[in-house]
Amino acid sequence: MFCPQCGTPAEGAAFCPSCGAAVTANAVAAPVNANSPAGVDATTQLVLAGWWIRVGATIIDSLILAIPSLLLTSILPRPVGSILEFAYLYLMWMRFGATLGNQVTKTKIVSTLGGAIDSRSAMIRGLVLAVPAFIQQLFQSSGTGGGLVTYGSMMTGIGTVASVFMLIDFLLPLFDKRRQSIHDKAANTLVIKL
């Protein structure tokens, strides 16, 4: 067995000899060969969630966040929705390893070694998702509802760059062998089917 935090071999140990993490409950099997079937991670042998299932989870989470975001943005600046999104994602990943959308679609966020997501990974994953949305909302063109900063084409360009980043992040699992988005790669996470 391997430590779910650092990947160090820890056969029969209760704690990882390298990082000290508990390994008995969350240990993962040894890495296997790269000839794993499509949709199965070669390292962990976990079944990876497909793009459409991830889209479904995202839509569900967006609907859940829509009403609180609309209420808050009616009295506070628009980017507060991104802050709400980050808080929701971080808290759900830390508590359950999955958002409500993930739970409905029977998917879960795990480390690339197959173990539970840690606070650092949840923080990185959430920031890579929320910061571009925050920037996009902050610098949104005044012609489309207005952000906080509505002057000059350079500022609108910054919002456009953030939007393009979010689009690439959204589409990347379609082309990635491990079906990872940029936020998954940054946080060393996978989205798996339960």
Q: What is the Cβ-side half-sphere exposure of residue 21, based on CA atoms within 13 angstroms?
A: 19
Per-residue pLDDT of the chain (194 residues), as tens digits, is 566 665 666 666 666 666 666 766 544 444 444 455 667 777 778 899 999 999 999 999 999 998 888 888 778 776 777 888 899 999 999 999 999 999 999 999 999 988 899 999 999 999 999 888 888 877 764 444 444 445 555 556 777 888 889 999 999 999 999 999 999 999 999 999 99
**For residues 37 and 33, what is the distance between their CA atoms, to the nearest angstrom?**
11
Question: What is the residue range of 166's domain?
Answer: 51-193
Let me know if residue 7 belongs to a domain: no
Let me know if residue 180 belongs to a domain: yes
Let me know if residue 117 belongs to a domain: yes
Let me know if residue 175 belongs to a domain: yes
Taking the model in full, what pTM does it have?
A: 0.71
Residue 189's beta-bridge partner residues? 111
Neighbour-count burial for 72-81, b at 16+ CB within 10 Å, e otherwise: eeeeeebbbb
Let me know if residue 14 belongs to a domain: no
Asked if residues 167 and 101 have their Cβ atoms less than 8 Å apart, the reply is no
Asked if residues 21 and 47 have their Cβ atoms less than 8 Å apart, the reply is no
**Amino acid 26: pLDDT:** 46
Q: Which residues contact 29 (CB under 8 A, 6 or more apart)?
A: 1, 2, 44, 45, 114
The string of DSSP letters for 105-133 reads: TTEEEEETTSSBPPHHHHHHHHHHHHHHH
Let me know if residue 16 belongs to a domain: no
**Amino acid 6: pLDDT:** 58
Domain count, the chain: 1
Let me know if residue 144 belongs to a domain: yes
Asked if residues 34 and 26 have their Cβ atoms less than 8 Å apart, the reply is no
Asked if residues 48 and 55 have their Cβ atoms less than 8 Å apart, the reply is no
**For residues 92 and 185, what is the distance between their CA atoms, to the nearest angstrom?**
19
Let me know if residue 179 belongs to a domain: yes
Count Cβ atoms below 10 Å from residue 63 Cβ, excluding itself: 11
pLDDT tens-digit readout, 53-66:
999 999 999 999 98
**What six digits make up the tokens of 87?**
């808080």
pLDDT tens-digit readout, 75-109:
877 677 788 889 999 999 999 999 999 999 999 99
